[in-house]
Chain A
Amino acid sequence: MVDAPTAGSEENAADAFLQGGPSLRNASGPYFGSYGGRWMPESLVAALDEVQDTFEKAKADPDFIAQLKDLNKNYSGRPSLLTEAKRFSEHAGGARIFLKREDLNHTGSHKINNVLGQALLAKRMGKTRVIAETGAGQHGVASATAAALLGLECVVYMGAEDCRRQALNVARMQLLGATVVPVTNGSQTLKDAINDALRDWVSNVEHTHYLLGTAAGAHPFPAMVRYFHEVIGEEARSQILEQTGKLPDAIAACIGGGSNAIGLFHAFLDDASVKIYGFEAGGEGVETGRHAAAISLGRPGVLHGARSYLMQDEDGQTIESHSISAGLDYPSVGPEHSYLADIGRVTYEAVTDTEAMDAFSLLCRTEGIIPAIESSHALAGAIKIGHRLTQGKENPSDVTVIVNLSGRGDKDVETAAAWFNMLDEEGHVKGTTLSTRKPKGPTERTNEAAVDVNEDQN
């Protein structure tokens, strides 16, 4: 790398920040400290340059900004709400938890912010076809949506394992006119879908834009995807000021590649009083090796065009990640997150499948909101930091925390039903056949209790 700062200079960056040093906002890439860059085949460099050039010009073009603003408002439904989760807050040490409702956007997640921006860029570049990778299917659905809206051909690469986990989203993409290609290489998940999308891009780059769905990959993707998601944090910051009259004590988001997180974090990076937390997928537990916690347990390496924290073995082979959440099942992370971790501005922790599913259930039952399992990792994290930050506080409700509710959980209902043992041997929801149906009691139950009741019914 050219100009790669040493570890020493990263410590200096942290010191400088604490002393009110240079802004951490608007980092343009290609490097974030020693992370990022362009570890890509030469064949794609010209295309990356074209994307970068088009993006820079668009950012400075009032017409483009107006077009994006209009779509965000009149198509996606922005600004998304900031909802105080009062009953949920009781389980977080009494801290006031506010949910940034990206789940209410059109298509049901934050992903729409980025795809509208990039699809507009694709049009500006004269491309007629977009390709995308998807894990949970959220980015694939969002890409198919933007392609339909703007009249672009759309092909989505999706791991065969993820197609199985998220069959409903496959159908949604097909209904929207996209072609879904199941990827059977490697671990058949998100990273392999990205590999196949890159192979497609290098072969069809003349008329195709690769609509990468997260703030990772080669320059300019990390900075560009962040730019399109910055609206999340900007809205949240002014909404919390309006609702509480002060900045939050902490903000939290889940991290797969890290696009919803960097979108929320960006507006708060220079607010030194705001603690920032990213929650990675701890899978079955970080000690089991079956997880997707790249920052917590990985080491720097290059994958898909960027140097960043990476789950890899002694040989530099990528280790397959594991998470109940397809959208977090990625063995690396956006390079800006690696930098923010190293300088200590953001704290990254792992949340297990079990913790995430407990938080999923809790939000359903306390707030009437079914969250995406991805976002449930952030909710579980918020419970932890709520307890931590209110410790010893006379008035815990002085503590405020914003959680990015990055997506809605409709797509996850089947996974959740299986997790909570709500299905019979044939995969049907228990208690839905005439012979076993009987009225349910009004009492609130724990998950275990609910399961017991269902078993009694059979």
Chain B
Amino acid sequence: MTEEFASKSAAAIDRAKAEGRAALVGYLPAGYPTVQESIEAGIALARNGADLIEIGIPYSDPVMDGPVIQAATTEAISNGFRVANVFDVVAGITAVTDAAVLVMTYWNPVMRMGVDEFSRRLAEAGGAGLITPDLVPDEAHEWIEASNKYGLDRVFLVAPSSTPERLDMTVKASRGFVYAVSIMGVTGTRTSVSSSAESVVARAHAAGAERVCVGLGVSNPDHVREIAAYADGVIVGTALVAALRDGGVDAVGQLTKNLSAGLGRAAAEA
């Protein structure tokens, strides 16, 4: 991983590491149910134990998302969400918390605004970088340039199906952390964590990744505890979105608190 800049995501993960635990990464969509409430929900994430926050941009064709996140992002769009609102959400959260705030986005909205323009505004809002589910490093020439220019983290994904060559290439192109997809599938809660997750993390570490976080299908403290034993961070999305849907901002805070209880390695609670 290239580290020419002080990576906000890396710093947040390292702070957790110094406390003897894995980092918690919480996902919520921008503008769901409204822009203001998504800021409040993001703040609740940070105040209840999330070290990094992933703010998703609602998009018309979210091919990597399951039904819960699809329903939430569709509602955000019909409630009037505009892509530029994501910078308000990021700024609103970073203004009052220490969490590293990344944006998770499908690529076309970024391309439409202009990769440089998008990056500049994200950096201005205090954002840490981008997680790009449908952008592989092979197509990321423009983003690599812009992220270098504005000091943003580039979080690419690796999957159980990634070949050693691709894993190596992706780890080298990433900055901040590498997002290990635990299973072959889309976002959504699952009863257990796939056994392939641990081997993807091990392969990414072996390829030189200093920080690897695991996402997809992680929804309860038991999952968090299992993954925290071998990964540098644990990513939870759908379960938090469902909590926000069913119980509002308070429910997000409560679930985050429960999830963070699973972060400690062995008995080494900080």
Binding site for B on A (CB under 8 A): 1-2, 4, 37-47, 49, 185-186, 191-192, 195, 198-199, 202-206, 301-305, 310, 312, 314-318
CB distance B83 to A316 under 8 Å?
yes
Residues in A whose Cβ lies below 8 Å from that of B62: 195
Binding site for A on B (CB under 8 A): 59-64, 66, 70, 74, 77, 82-83, 107-113, 133-136, 138-139, 141-142, 156-163, 166, 170, 181, 184-186
CB distance B139 to A1 under 8 Å?
yes
The contact of B112 among A39, A42, A191, A312, by CB within 8 Å, is A312
CB distance B157 to A46 under 8 Å?
no
Complex Cα–Cα for A44 and B111 (A): 21
Residues in B whose Cβ lies below 8 Å from that of A303: 61, 108
CB distance A199 to B161 under 8 Å?
no
Complex Cα–Cα for A47 and B64 (A): 16
CB distance B186 to A39 under 8 Å?
no
CB distance A199 to B82 under 8 Å?
no
Complex Cα–Cα for A312 and B60 (A): 10
Q: A37-B139, A202-B186 are in contact. Are A314 and B163 (CB under 8 A)?
A: no
Quick one: closest A residue to B185, CB to CB?
Answer: A203
Q: A195-B63, A317-B77 are in contact. Are A43 and B157 (CB under 8 A)?
A: yes
Most buried by A among B66, B107, B158, B163: B107
Residues in A whose Cβ lies below 8 Å from that of B111: 301-302, 316
The contact of B181 among A43, A185, A186, A301, by CB within 8 Å, is A43
Q: How far is the CB of A294 from chain B (nearest CB, A)?
A: 14
Q: How far is the CB of B156 from chain A (nearest CB, A)?
A: 7
Q: A38-B139, A199-B186 are in contact. Are A185 and B107 (CB under 8 A)?
A: no
The contact of A316 among B112, B136, B166, B184, by CB within 8 Å, is B112
Complex Cα–Cα for A206 and B196 (A): 14
Residues in A whose Cβ lies below 8 Å from that of B108: 301-303, 310, 312, 316, 318
CB distance A46 to B141 under 8 Å?
no
Residues in A whose Cβ lies below 8 Å from that of B186: 199, 202-203
Complex Cα–Cα for A453 and B142 (A): 63
CB distance A43 to B63 under 8 Å?
no
Q: How far is the CB of A43 from chain B (nearest CB, A)?
A: 4
The 10 A-B pairs with the shortest beta carbon distances in the complex, nearest first, are A316-B112, A316-B109, A43-B159, A46-B161, A203-B185, A315-B83, A317-B60, A318-B60, A316-B108, A198-B63
Residues in B whose Cβ lies below 8 Å from that of A312: 108, 112
Q: A43-B181, A191-B61 are in contact. Are A316 and B141 (CB under 8 A)?
A: no
CB distance B170 to A315 under 8 Å?
no
Q: How far is the CB of B103 from chain A (nearest CB, A)?
A: 14
The contact of A185 among B70, B133, B138, B141, by CB within 8 Å, is B70
Complex Cα–Cα for A205 and B185 (A): 9
Residues in A whose Cβ lies below 8 Å from that of B82: 315
CB distance A45 to B184 under 8 Å?
no
CB distance B112 to A46 under 8 Å?
no
CB distance B112 to A38 under 8 Å?
no
Residues in A whose Cβ lies below 8 Å from that of B63: 41, 195, 198-199, 202, 304
CB distance A202 to B70 under 8 Å?
no
Residues in B whose Cβ lies below 8 Å from that of A195: 61-63
The contact of B136 among A42, A47, A315, by CB within 8 Å, is A42
Complex Cα–Cα for A314 and B60 (A): 13
CB distance B141 to A2 under 8 Å?
yes
Q: A2-B141, A43-B161, A43-B184 are in contact. Are A317 and B59 (CB under 8 A)?
A: yes
Most buried by B among A185, A199, A205: A199
CB distance B61 to A318 under 8 Å?
yes
CB distance B112 to A202 under 8 Å?
no
Complex Cα–Cα for A47 and B184 (A): 11
CB distance B181 to A42 under 8 Å?
yes
Residues in B whose Cβ lies below 8 Å from that of A41: 63-64, 133-134, 136, 157, 159
Quick one: closest A residue to B137, CB to CB?
Answer: A42
Q: How far is the CB of A216 from chain B (nearest CB, A)?
A: 13
Complex Cα–Cα for A1 and B184 (A): 26
Residues in B whose Cβ lies below 8 Å from that of A47: 161
CB distance A206 to B184 under 8 Å?
yes
The contact of B184 among A198, A205, A301, by CB within 8 Å, is A205
Residues in B whose Cβ lies below 8 Å from that of A206: 184
Q: How far is the CB of B183 from chain A (nearest CB, A)?
A: 8
Residues in B whose Cβ lies below 8 Å from that of A203: 184-186
CB distance B61 to A40 under 8 Å?
no
Q: How far is the CB of A218 from chain B (nearest CB, A)?
A: 10
CB distance B157 to A186 under 8 Å?
no
Q: How far is the CB of B216 from chain A (nearest CB, A)?
A: 9
The contact of A40 among B136, B163, B166, B184, by CB within 8 Å, is B136
Quick one: closest A residue to B163, CB to CB?
Answer: A46
CB distance B141 to A40 under 8 Å?
no
Residues in A whose Cβ lies below 8 Å from that of B160: 43
Q: How far is the CB of B108 from chain A (nearest CB, A)?
A: 4
CB distance A302 to B161 under 8 Å?
no
Complex Cα–Cα for A219 and B12 (A): 37
CB distance A42 to B61 under 8 Å?
no
Q: How far is the CB of A396 from chain B (nearest CB, A)?
A: 46
For the A-B complex with A202-B64, A316-B113 known, give 16 more contacts whose Cβ atoms are closer than 8 Å. A4-B141, A38-B139, A39-B134, A40-B134, A41-B133, A41-B134, A42-B181, A45-B136, A202-B186, A205-B184, A301-B112, A310-B108, A314-B112, A315-B83, A315-B112, A316-B108
Residues in A whose Cβ lies below 8 Å from that of B185: 202-203
Complex Cα–Cα for A288 and B177 (A): 46
Q: How far is the CB of B68 from chain A (nearest CB, A)?
A: 13
